[in-house]
């Protein structure tokens, strides 16, 4: 089947508006359910969107089928699996540390490398930028900042 986007220039203004509304509503619903933003190009390629737009809105947009189809998309399913793994890891850490003292929690974090900045939130600041921030802080705040940003 042809991609609906290649047909959009030949369709009316109502159909283009219908297309944009369908892609937007599917994207918003998917993000609300999974916290993952789906690529609009992937959403536009769904047969549910194509059928809805080509029928002039006569065929109701099947939201549940569209969401299921998005979950089956390889790039999105990989993101869903990664999100589930991350939730499981956080849950495991929370259950492991639930009844620990502060010292035991610190030791737990150090043993597992959890006391260092994560790669996904690593600072893009240069050392000079960090030094400028540190210059305006009290000694206690400097230690906290340095620890949080992996400078010590």
Handedness of CA 77, 78, 83, 89 (dihedral sign): positive
Residues 57, 104: one domain?
Answer: no
**Are both 104 and 135 inside the same structural domain?**
no
pLDDT higher than 50, residue 12: yes
9 in the same domain as 30: yes
pLDDT tens across 20-78, in order? 898 899 989 988 888 888 888 888 888 888 888 888 878 888 888 888 888 888 888 88
Count structural domains, the chain. Answer: 3
pLDDT at 37: 85
**Helix, strand, or coil (residue 128):** helix
Same domain, 65 and 85: no
Q: Which of 44, 35, 45, 38 is closest to 75 using CA atoms?
A: 38
| Spatial separation of the C-alpha atoms in residues 102 and 4, rounded to whole Å | 57
Rounded CA separation 79/86 (Å): 11
The yes-or-no verdict on residue 128 having pLDDT over 90 is no
Nearest to 80 by CA among 70, 90, 89: 70
| Same-domain check for residues 62 and 92 | no
**Same domain, yes or no: 57 and 87:** no
Range of the domain at 145: 118-152
Query: Which tens digit of pLDDT belongs to each residue from 103-122?
Result: 999 999 889 888 776 665 55
Could you tell me if 95 and 144 lie in one domain? Answer: no
């Amino acid at each position: 089947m042809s991609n609906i986007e290649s047909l959009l220039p030949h369709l009316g203004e109502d159909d283009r508006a219908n297309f944009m509304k369908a892609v937007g509503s599917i994207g918003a619903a998917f993000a609300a359910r999974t916290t993952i933003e789906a690529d609009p190009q992937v959403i536009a390629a769904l047969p549910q969107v194509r059928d809805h737009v080509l029928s002039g809105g006569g065929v109701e947009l099947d939201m549940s089928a569209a969401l299921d189809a998005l979950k089956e998309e390889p790039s999105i399913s990989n993101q869903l699996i990664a999100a589930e793994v991350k939730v499981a890891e956080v849950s495991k850490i929370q259950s492991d540390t639930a009844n620990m003292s502060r010292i035991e929690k610190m030791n737990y974090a150090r043993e597992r490398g959890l006391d260092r900045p994560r790669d996904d939130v690593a600072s893009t600041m240069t050392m000079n930028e960090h030094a400028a921030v540190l210059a305006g802080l009290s000694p206690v705040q400097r230690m906290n900042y340095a620890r949080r940003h992996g400078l010590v």
